[in-house]
Structure formats: structure tokens, C-alpha cells
Amino acid sequence: MTTTAVPRLVEQFEHGLDAPICLTWELTYACNLACVHCLSSSGKRDPRELSTQDCKAIIDELERMQVFYVNIGGGEPTVRPDFWELVDYATAHHVGVKFSTNGVRITPEVAARLAASDYVDVQISLDGATAEVNDAVRGPGSYAMAIRALENLAAAGFSDAKISVVVTRHNVDQLDEFAALASRYGATLRITRLRPSGRGADVWDELHPTADQQVRLYQWLVAKGERVLTGDSFFHLSGLGEPGALAGLNMCGAGRVVCLIDPVGDVYACPFAIHDRFLAGNVLSDGGFNNVWQNAPLFRELREPQSAGACGSCGHYDSCRGGCMAAKFFTGLPMDGPDPECVQGYGAPALARERDKPRPAGDHSHGGRRREPVPLTLTMPPKRLCNESPV
């Protein structure tokens, strides 16, 4: 999503829209990898995951609400046997699809069919510009798998795939290398913030960029970020420079302009907030997605003016708005205080105090939390690909 900073609109957006601008939809908790920072603690499929018909009913509703596109993730969404059927259905119903994958199913055949569609975007996750850095986080062989997917897409003529990087202490100095990789495959670089959500809660202390690295990241974004996507995820850094220096709306969109639908139909305020505290309702048991979006008490509360709390006296509050709600919550910091990575340094002493970190809600990890990827019995190859125009 490309956005332009428009202060008056930000105020409108803080009061929420009748429908999300886009939303994240995690189709399955099943995954062939076991990344140490997985936001959704994915691994094993949840037996209650939505059926194909349930998913199509959600797409019908998104079409009625004019949600322009969905960011599909998981888990590894392409391991769902009906994945390509759902992609086809969404694009035929004017709901564009961007999906995130570790590349496991992006064979030359799939790449060729993707290249023939104008309405599907592919994001290949990669958390190191070298196998050593990537595989330490995403598991052995995952770098080679992602690169093979990028090669297949490029060879098939798929233009402008995204390379999606979660910025960590170990890859933050590889940003130029990531940009070079993207350029090699005709792709666009997308970098996002490491959140202490899901299994990420276990590794955040060791993996999140240091204060010096945050400054370097900010400077890199200002200097070289024009063609780099960020999903607006670094707004906590905006106090480091002039207002508007960072592209994007630079606000927390949770429950206001974005949300998450999880594999069992639970609706959360944002993809980084899978916890009962941020659960707004369920598409099956609460009268459909539109009803949850418009009427859930949690979302109504998030659209009310928020207290600046301890940040009220800080001159940078207008820039960072107190930072990321989920980052505060999962590190055990007060919601009306500084972000754990506050660029004014107010996060560090807060982190040093006694904290009570909430446990993530669901754990779908293979055999408890561990680092090795676990082979899945993969399902049948896709029957159809997106060949219909959404407009």
C-alpha cells in the first residue's frame, strides 16, 4: 500500500472507517517452517479452521464492504488445499490478493500461472540476506527455498514480487544487500518491524534492533526508502526527524483501518495482537465480519480518542502517538506509556523494571516451541489459478 501523509485524514482514520482499507487474513496455522519469531505461533493446523464455504462467504462480505484487497498469510497459506480456489474466488469478486509465503509451493508451474494474473501479489519472506542470518531465524533450508521461489517467479516473468523482511538485530546491517537482492529478481523490498507477538515474545529481547540500530534504520529509510515498502510499521521511529520524513500515515491502524481474521474466524485488532485482550469477535458466531468490524465494543473503544498517558508531556507524541499497542502489551508495558523501542529512550528504563509479560493466546507450534522445521504432508497441487479480473 502506498500512502501519503495527510494530517487531517489521519484524524479521520483514527475515528475508524466503515470498512477496513485492507486486512490481514491468516488462512491456516499449518506451516512447514517454525520461525522463531512467528507472530501467530504457527505450526499445526487448527481443526476448527474455516471451511472453503466459510471463506467464500467472508470474501462475499469483503466485496460488499469494498475492501480492496486482503493480505493473506498464515501459517503457510499455500498448504491449504483450497488456497488457489480461494485466490481465484477473491479476485473474481473484486477483492485483490497479496499473499505471504515462504516459497515452498512456488514451483516453476505455479510461478508461470501467477505471472499470467494481474491481480495477485506475492510476498516472499526472507529474514537474512545470507543463508546464515536467515536460517538462524527461519530454519535450515529456508533461505534456499525463498531464493528458489524468487528465481522461479523471475524466470516466469512475474514482475514486482515483494521480498518481505522482518528487521532484526542481525539483519539490520544487511539492508543494502536486501535491496540488491530485490533488484536482482525484479522485486520490491518490503521491511517491517519485529513484534514481540506469538513466538516472537520469546526472542524479542535478543532479536529486536538496538537503539543505535534503530537510528541507522531510520536514516536508511529516509535516505534510501523511497522505493521500499514498510506497511507503515516504523511509525515509532518518526520522532527521530522532521514530521513527514517517513513515508506513510504513521499511525496505529488497529481496529480503525486494519484488522486480522485468523484461521478459525476470530477477528483481532491487528496481525500483531493475537490475544484475548484484542479479540473483537468471530465471523461465524457474531453475525459476520461486517457486524464485528462496525459494532464490536473493542473496535469502538479503539476508535475513541486515546490517552497519551505518560507520553503526554513528550514533545514527540504527535509524531509517534505512543508507538505500537501490541509491542507494549506483549512486553508487559503499560498501554498508555512509551513504546519499548521509544526513540527518546523512555522504553529502556520501563523494560528494566519488573514486568508481567502476558502469554500469547494460542500456541500452534509443532510439538511445543522449538526451532527445527517439521515436514508436513503436503496436499494436492493447485487445480486452478487466478485467471479472472477483479474489475
Partner 1 sequence: MSAPAQAGAAEFNPDDAWRLHPQVAVRPEPFGALLYHFGTRKLSFLKNRTILAVVQSLADHPDARAALRAAGVEDAQLGPYLHALGVLAGSKMLVPVAPEEAA
Provide the minimum distance between the beta carbon of 176 and partner 1 in the complex, in angstroms, as a whole number.
23
Q: Which C-beta is closer to partner 1: that of 71 or that of 134?
A: 71
Q: Select from 324, 348, 330, 127 the least CA-distant residue to 238.
A: 324
Composition of the chain by helix, strand, coil, percent to 5: 35, 10, 50
Provide the minimum distance between the beta carbon of 304 and partner 1 in the complex, in angstroms, as a whole number.
17
User: Interior CA angle at 80 toward 166 and 2, to 5°?
Assistant: 40
Tell me the C-alpha distance between 250 and 92, whole Å. 32
Provide the minimum distance between the beta carbon of 70 and partner 1 in the complex, in angstroms, as a whole number.
12
Provide the minimum distance between the beta carbon of 257 and partner 1 in the complex, in angstroms, as a whole number.
10
**Long-range interactions of 11-14: CB distance < 8 A, separation 24+:** 13/249, 13/251, 13/253, 13/256, 13/257, 14/251, 14/256, 14/303, 14/305
Provide the minimum distance between the beta carbon of 391 and partner 1 in the complex, in angstroms, as a whole number.
5
Q: Which C-beta is closer to partner 1: that of 62 or that of 342?
A: 62
Instruction: Count Cβ atoms below 10 Å from residue 97 Cβ, excluding itself.
Output: 24
In Å, how far are 133, 175, 247, 325 from 232, measured between CA atoms? 24, 17, 8, 14
Provide the minimum distance between the beta carbon of 340 and partner 1 in the complex, in angstroms, as a whole number.
29
Q: Which C-beta is closer to partner 1: that of 38 or that of 95?
A: 95
Q: Which C-beta is closer to partner 1: that of 162 or that of 236?
A: 162
The C-alpha cell at 128 is 537474512
Q: Select from 344, 341, 339, 311 the least CA-distant residue to 324.
A: 339
Provide the minimum distance between the beta carbon of 390 and partner 1 in the complex, in angstroms, as a whole number.
6
Tell me the C-alpha distance between 48 and 234, whole Å. 34
Provide the minimum distance between the beta carbon of 12 and partner 1 in the complex, in angstroms, as a whole number.
5
Q: Which C-beta is closer to partner 1: that of 143 or that of 158?
A: 158
Q: Which C-beta is closer to partner 1: that of 49 or that of 61?
A: 61
3-state secondary structure of 328: helix
Q: Is residue 265 reached through a cis peptide bond, with omega within 30 degrees of 0 on the bond before it?
A: no
Tell me the C-alpha distance between 74 and 251, whole Å. 24
Q: Can you give the binding site for partner 1, defined by CB under 8 A?
A: 1-4, 6, 8-9, 12, 17-19, 21, 66, 68-69, 94, 96, 98, 118-119, 121, 390-391
Q: Which C-beta is closer to partner 1: that of 50 or that of 246?
A: 246
Tell me the C-alpha distance between 89 and 25, whole Å. 15
Q: Which C-beta is closer to partner 1: that of 37 or that of 98?
A: 98
